[in-house]
Chain A
Amino acid sequence: MSEQMTIRVTINGKAYERTVEPRLLLSDFLRHECDLTGTHVGCEHGVCGACTVLFDGLPVRSCLMFAVQAHGHEVTTVEGLAPEAPERLHPLQEAFWEAHGLQCGFCTPGFLMTLVPFLEQNPNPSDEEIREAIAGNLCRCTGYQHIVSAVKLAAAKMHPDPSLRETR
């Protein structure tokens, strides 16, 4: 067995210290070492986007990284979006709920983690921009249409000018 390394990673604001093999994927680390199973693994070859998490605030595919690369970094997973869930959700999650942006829900965490930084950068996206933003995430259930509506709705809920925010 290969040698082990001790790593420290901040996940959803909490410090985790674990001793792992250097070859352990970040996705497996999150899911099986830290029991944060909201991050899903659909392909393990970087195509489906289900494993997307925020790495120092930017979306990455956790199946394409090793856990040791996260040493000293900050990771946010879907569990970190709404600490009081399921009672209280993030506005993007609320919007997915209202617009029926999920069916089996397996791909959903990856979509959410892709879209949170996207909406920060582009608070008022067009349909076309939304579709481009999610073109790296596969969903086999929804046909994407309700996901696009959900993002529109989320943008309305989260509008930077509170007076223009949709409160529903």
Chain B
Amino acid sequence: MTTRYFGQRIKRNEDPVLLSGRALFTDDVHLPDMLHVAFVRSDHAHGRIVSIDVEAAREREGVVAVYTAADLGDYWQPGPLLVPPPPIEGIVFNARTQVPLAKDKVRHVGEPIAMVVAESRYIAEDAVEDIFVEIEPLPAVVDMEKALEPDAPLIHEDLDSNLAAHVVQTKGDYEKAKAEADVVIRRRFYYNHGIAAAMENRGMVAHWDAKTQHLTMWDTTQAPIAIRNGLAAMLGLSTSQVRVIAPFIGGGFGPKIMMFYPEEVLIPWAAMKLNRPVKWIEDRRENFFATTHERDQIHWAEIALTKEGRILGVKDTFLHDTGAYDPYGLTVPINSQCTLLGCYDVPNYYSEFKAVFTNKTLVTPYRGAGRQHGVFVMERLLDIAARELGLDRNEIRRRNFIPPDKFPYNNEIIYQDFVPLVYDSGNYEPALNKALELIGYEQFVKEEQPRLRAEGKHVGIGVVAYVEGTGIGPYEGARVQIESNGMVNVATGIGTQGQGHFTSFAQVVADQLGVDVRKIRMVTGDTAEFHWGTGTFASRGAVVAGNAIHAAAAAVRQKILKLASQELEVAEEDLELGDGKVWVRGVPDTAIDLGTLAVKANPLRGAVKPGTEPGLEATAYFGPERGATANGVHAMIVEVDPETATVQIKRYVTVHDCGRVINPLILDGQIHGGIAQGIGNAFYERIIYDDNGQLLTASFMDYLIPTAMEVPPIEIDHVETPSPLNPLGTKGAGEAGAIPTGALFAQAIEDALAEYNLEIREIPLSPNRLFELIQEAKAKKGGA
């Protein structure tokens, strides 16, 4: 196989339509006679619905229908449990899933109560104002710790507490390790990961064709196939009667894979009931409280070490806020639990968490998906330990890295994909060395920092490491087909939200078939084109779908060779592929183009040999036995102004290992974007609820996502440790950039403000919060 495209920084096939405003996003779907929906949502975090008066709304001109839970009849069902709890001994898990429209009780601000369908969105919103909902407020459960107190109000009254889950996982014997330790460090940490805030809000358009008995839905989902399967079941249709299309999606980052959102259940139902196309597009305010969050955890963590800084064990107990319902199971806290172990050889581990229901928006994965929380705890523990032991922060990491000869490395606990957390491959020290070199660590700490400090500047450096479990199963599939005009069609089930799949997947196929990468027409996220698969999540696209596509393309290549060897009467080994043709090596004028060969593979007359499949087409699947573990090191130099508590990033360096890379240009973009989100999480973005469970940050004026002024240029380098678990050797990269940034900020700011002896145990920070921490530290210093 001649590799021409794999590993190349080629520009993307999908860009011209996106750049020229001609790409189809969900809200761009206009159908004749289409109706529009707006929702009445709860203003209360917790309360009992006393009455809903929709009469005035129903009478408004232009309103076609108004529905409440009572109007849904048997269609009203709590949503499915998307991810059941993993097989961990002694696990407690109380599944309580969201409902299409609140009945009896509301459990978070923004929960939908009634749905208005009207001739225009403007009219629908007028009618929302006509609806009067009487709610008897109940005390809101906002604080995670208080939620578990015996007298806390119950969010789900059929449970005897607000406990959603309780999980303990262990490796070795922590208490024994602790008894042998020279040093034990114990701290409380708080980590709040905010919201995805994709630039495109959610939305869907459903069209029921009564004549063909067929439902089509355009949906901003990351998992169109799962949506189709679920919808068919709910609506009593066969899956072949339902087509779900995830067209161009304006960013996903996790929350768009939640299912089923109430709106996803209601919009197609209304389209069938009213026999007219129905559209709902979320507005930004709704996105803040109706699209899932990730939010916070409180950790009480302990690390036991020898005086040389060797980790003997880690103990961590934490609370996880799951919001009002938990349809996504335990993915987020399990990721925190597992990712905490990081790049380190930790012989003994005790980890226990409780997931807690609160009167807040649901929590599901958002880029990083709980990994941030774990990485923050471990990296902070190591920093504090290094300080206490008088060790260099890089040295303590080096001493504990899993050495390259210990892979595959078994952490002996269960990961989110239900199999033991085993790292497939890794080589951690070179990544650290490269990052230190790139950022000029030695020079900075020995020369630059002292010089700048002498000038009165508060500059600091941070260096942190992390791993990311990526590319988990169960499987994805793909179909590759050569058409009679020589074009190549590739279809896979996953949706795409900007990751460049139209290009990176085309690169894989182009190499196998020897065709121009621009001649490949890639279809993602349309169940009519490919209808087996799970979805785009957990940084798995390039790994799982990428390898399925590779396998399908390889199978088509075999068919080309077989048929061409018959046609040209030579052995397969003597054939060569390239430029969309196949020829006998050394005899270029024997070339047959692949289009012609495709026609021959599908004869209209004559007999084909038994067992021959028509066409140059193949379908293949790929399911990894477990995930591939990517890793990396981030380093940053900051300058902090202690008066205003603003932080300026002077340099940001990342060294990343995600195995073999299909398109480094796309990978760089993924890393930049992840880091930008990480910076937002670390210093700018914060979800704030008041004591009544009101969301105070429900606009871009209050929830600050970073602009070009806050995100610095990022310097990237790579280490390449191919994954042995898949033929392409790829590991996922989608989330990497976002994972270690909180820990990095904490370390770099502490270093910049070394004179104050700060210890940062929480993320997000903000100028306000940092100012408070500085004042506290000053007071302590003054008092000491």
Query: Chain B nearest CB: distance from A63 CB in Å?
Result: 10
**Are B673 and A103 in touch, CB under 8 angstroms?**
yes
Any B CB within 8 A of the CB of A5: no
- Could you mark each residue 106-142 of chain A with 1 if its beta carbon is under 8 Å from any beta carbon of chain B, else 0? 1111001000000000000001001110111111111
Residue from B16, B199, B671, B709 within 8 A of A50 (CB atoms) = B199
Q: How far is the CA of A55 from the CA of B24 in the complex (A)?
A: 24
Q: How far is the CA of A104 from the CA of B201 in the complex (A)?
A: 13
Contacts of A32 in B (CB 8 A): 30
Contacts of B23 in A (CB 8 A): 105
Any A CB within 8 A of the CB of B566: no
**Are B672 and A45 in touch, CB under 8 angstroms?**
no
B-facing residues in A133-157 (Cβ within 8 Å):
134-148
Residue from A31, A38, A79, A135 within 8 A of B708 (CB atoms) = A135
Query: Chain A nearest CB: distance from B485 CB in Å?
Result: 18
Contacts of A137 in B (CB 8 A): 707-708
The residue in A31, A137, A140, A148 that gathers the most chain B C-beta atoms within 10 A of its C-beta is A140
**Are B12 and A97 in touch, CB under 8 angstroms?**
yes
Q: How far is the CA of A81 from the CA of B19 in the complex (A)?
A: 10
Given contacts A135-B708, A146-B669, contact A140 B677 (CB under 8 A): yes
A-facing residues in B503-560 (Cβ within 8 Å):
none
Contacts of A24 in B (CB 8 A): 122
Given contacts A40-B250, A93-B19, contact A100 B668 (CB under 8 A): yes
**Are A102 and B199 in touch, CB under 8 angstroms?**
no
Q: How far is the CA of A15 from the CA of B414 in the complex (A)?
A: 63
**Are B707 and A138 in touch, CB under 8 angstroms?**
yes
Q: How far is the CA of A24 from the CA of B121 in the complex (A)?
A: 11
**Are A23 and B122 in touch, CB under 8 angstroms?**
yes
**Are A146 and B672 in touch, CB under 8 angstroms?**
yes
Q: How far is the CA of A131 from the CA of B498 in the complex (A)?
A: 22
Any A CB within 8 A of the CB of B389: no
Given contacts A23-B122, A98-B11, contact A37 B20 (CB under 8 A): no
Any A CB within 8 A of the CB of B198: yes
Given contacts A42-B201, A140-B673, A142-B669, contact A105 B27 (CB under 8 A): no
**Are B708 and A42 in touch, CB under 8 angstroms?**
no
Residue from A35, A103, A106, A132 within 8 A of B499 (CB atoms) = A103
Q: How far is the CA of A21 from the CA of B122 in the complex (A)?
A: 10
Any A CB within 8 A of the CB of B86: no
Any A CB within 8 A of the CB of B643: no
Q: How far is the CA of A38 from the CA of B666 in the complex (A)?
A: 23
Residue from A31, A43, A104 within 8 A of B248 (CB atoms) = A104
* Size bin of chain A's contact surface: 35 or more
Any A CB within 8 A of the CB of B713: yes
Q: How far is the CA of A26 from the CA of B675 in the complex (A)?
A: 34
Any B CB within 8 A of the CB of A164: no
Any B CB within 8 A of the CB of A75: no
Given contacts A44-B284, A144-B676, contact A131 B20 (CB under 8 A): no
Query: Chain B nearest CB: distance from A98 CB in Å?
Result: 6
**Are A106 and B251 in touch, CB under 8 angstroms?**
yes
Any A CB within 8 A of the CB of B464: no
**Are B18 and A131 in touch, CB under 8 angstroms?**
no
Contacts of B497 in A (CB 8 A): 104
Contacts of A144 in B (CB 8 A): 672, 676, 707-708, 711
Any B CB within 8 A of the CB of A58: no
Contacts of B196 in A (CB 8 A): 140
Q: Can you sample 26 A-B contacts with CB below 8 Å?
A: A31-B27, A41-B27, A42-B284, A43-B284, A44-B283, A45-B701, A77-B21, A85-B19, A85-B20, A86-B17, A100-B12, A102-B19, A104-B200, A105-B14, A105-B498, A106-B199, A109-B21, A131-B709, A140-B198, A140-B199, A140-B677, A141-B673, A142-B669, A143-B671, A143-B714, A148-B708
Given contacts A40-B25, A100-B669, A140-B199, 19 further A-B contacts (CB under 8 A): A1-B62, A28-B121, A37-B24, A38-B22, A41-B27, A45-B700, A48-B284, A102-B19, A102-B498, A104-B200, A104-B497, A105-B18, A106-B248, A134-B708, A135-B709, A138-B199, A141-B251, A143-B673, A148-B713
A residues with CB within 8 A of B: 1, 21, 23-24, 28, 31-32, 35-45, 47-48, 50, 77-79, 81-82, 85-87, 89, 93, 96-98, 100, 102-109, 112, 127, 130-132, 134-148
